[in-house]
Structure 1
Amino acid sequence: MSSYEDRDGKIWMDGKLVDWRDANVHLLTHALHYASSVFEGERCYNGKIFKGVEHSKRLRKSAEMLDFEIPYSVEEIEAAKYAMLEANGWTDAYVRAVAWRGAGEDMGVSSMKNPVRLAIAGWEWGNYYGDAKMKGAKLDIAKWKRPSPETIPVHAKAAGLYMICTMSKHTAEAKGCSDALFMDYRGYVAEATGANIFFVKDGEVHTPLPDCFLNGITRQTVIDLLKEKGIKVYERHIEPYEMEGFEQCWLTGTAAEVTPVGQIGDYTFEVGALAKDMVETYEKLVRA
């Protein structure tokens, strides 16, 4: 694949479609210096974006948490996504909407005078973790922790919150792992760098309570699917030592979809029947 800055295609930017290579911002864009940026990752299956409206609503909500307003309605954002997909001839693709404070009169921490910008790009993307859907992903345990809600807007899908994700994923990949698992500021199991996590024990499912990290749309979808199957789901604080007693594990996220986990640090898990069933059930749902 060529660099993401050097491709053919169209990107929707500030109300119009532009050539891929022309979708640029100035060096003094506020978001580049101060992380005043929010984004969404979505997938389009068979010409339909899965839960697109929910993603657009969350994008606007994330911006509000960072003290700015996106100058487009949910309906306008949805129309822009589909315009981008149509312009590129895609029916199956990953969709990335990003909003940020641009370059303007302010170039310090404050940026009230700067315009808020919005762009929507996309690309064709396969399995985020490669062949892990068959054999199970291997995760490192990150040295960084998910921060307290008193320190940062933890429920926003904000670019700045991913700094430790990038660092932790790089460390994990250097160890031959696909990803890394975070604990939160209290020491409880939290999430992976870009995905929520689920565990199975005795036919019941346990997942960390999202009180200091993003309550993913895919996470919520999978919980609903489990409950429809009559499977008990516990949303709770999970101590790290409990991983020794869990039998199965999987990750959820727009990019990850549903991906089984075979190992986290020294803990191992079976890619069992329920994990495989959730992979298949989710796949059927998004392509229905």
Structure 2
Amino acid sequence: MSGGYDDRDGKIWMDGKLVEWRDAKVHILSHALHYASSVFEGERCYGGTIFKSRQHSERLRASANLIDFEVPYSVDQIEDAKAQVLKANGLTDAYVRAIAWRGAGPDMGVASARNPVRMAVAAWEWGAYYGDAKTKGAKLDLSKWKRPSPETIPSEAKAAGLYMICTMSKHAAEAKGCSDAMMLDYRGYVAEATGANIFFVKDGEVHTPKPDCFLNGITRQTVLQLLREKDIPVHERHIMPEELEGFQQCWLTGTAAEVTPVGQIGDFTFEVGAMALDIAESYETLVRS
């Protein structure tokens, strides 16, 4: 594929049927465009199989419920839609994006209970999210924006509106020559990157922020299981930013990021060490097994 994401050949599943890629459009007065009433999933297909596909479909529906709407398709129907998209586009290794949103309808204000809920699934070829960082280590900025309190947002939802400060943080990081930014939470604890969870290593043990105000990623949960199977001690806890000076290794996890070592966060540096590389290799083996 080439060109902008709105100008490509292929098929997108939309509201129950496959349509031409360029015809997959929404009205300018769609509620989601104005009020962020949208949830989505990012998934990767390896060798024809989407890793933890059903778990992603279940989370899509759960996210919608958390922002007060119902996806009008069952998990089985969402699974079938993803299979149709991959087959129609001849893809076996791909990134898959499922999205559900409140569309245009009788309501055009904050409230939108009468508007229809729509859904689409697209897929495309997509390589490493951070380029050559898997071998060299990603460079991260420190974001000025903080993940908010779960009393102010539904932090367990993978909702479009929650990514606004992530986009702003990533743009600021890229302007400084960084790949991404690390965000703190509203209390000042280390939280996550803009679209990935974060892990640290100190003296052979792993430390990772407790996901009590940000998304507990599916890849994060997978990596935690890999660490347990390797009998590596893991501490899920609140981490203060000044602790970064004492950590020796660091990596990010996410569907897009997969497992990506980090070489620098602000003024703190980390080695692309054996544990980070081993976990990355183990994850790669798992998703292709």
1:49 counterpart residue number? 50
Q: TM-score, normalised by structure 2?
A: 0.99
Are residues 1:239 and 2:240 paired? yes
2:151 counterpart residue number? 150
Runs of 4+ in 1 over 4 A off after TM superposition: none
1:286 counterpart residue number? 287
Tell me the distance in 2 between the aligned counterparts of 1:84 and 1:8. Answer: 13
Provide, for residues 34-66 of structure 1, a one-character-per-residue CA deviation record: whole Å limited to 9, x for no partner. Answer: 000000000000000000000000000000000
2:125 counterpart residue number? 124
- Alignment size in residue pairs: 288
2:94 counterpart residue number? 93
Pairs within 5 Å for 1:1-288 = 1-288=2-289
- Shift of residue 180, structure 1, vs aligned partner: 0.2
Provide, for residues 158-191 of structure 1, a one-character-per-residue CA deviation record: whole Å limited to 9, x for no partner. Answer: 0000000000000000000000000000000000
- Shift of residue 197, structure 1, vs aligned partner: 0.1
Provide, for residues 214-265 of structure 1, a one-character-per-residue CA deviation record: whole Å limited to 9, x for no partner. Answer: 0000000000000000001100000000000000000000000000000000
- Give the CA RMSD over aligned residues: 0.3
What residue identity is the alignment partner of 1:18?
Answer: V
What residue identity is the alignment partner of 1:109?
Answer: V
Tell me the distance in 2 between the aligned counterparts of 1:186 and 1:10. Answer: 44
Tell me the distance in 2 between the aligned counterparts of 1:146 and 1:135. Answer: 28
- Shift of residue 18, structure 1, vs aligned partner: 0.2
Provide, for residues 182-216 of structure 1, a one-character-per-residue CA deviation record: whole Å limited to 9, x for no partner. Answer: 00000000000000000000000000000000000
What residue identity is the alignment partner of 1:184?
Answer: D
What residue identity is the alignment partner of 2:46?
Answer: Y
Tell me the distance in 1 between the aligned counterparts of 2:111 and 2:174. Answer: 36
Q: Which runs of 5+ in 2 are unaligned?
A: none
Tell me the distance in 2 between the aligned counterparts of 1:11 and 1:123. Answer: 10
What residue identity is the alignment partner of 1:209?
Answer: K
- Shift of residue 88, structure 1, vs aligned partner: 0.1
Tell me the distance in 2 between the aligned counterparts of 1:147 and 1:154. Answer: 8
Q: Which runs of 5+ in 1 are unaligned?
A: none
Q: TM-score, normalised by structure 1?
A: 1.00
Query: 1:220 is paired with a residue of what secondary structure?
Result: helix
What residue identity is the alignment partner of 2:136?
Answer: K
Tell me the distance in 2 between the aligned counterparts of 1:223 and 1:154. Answer: 20
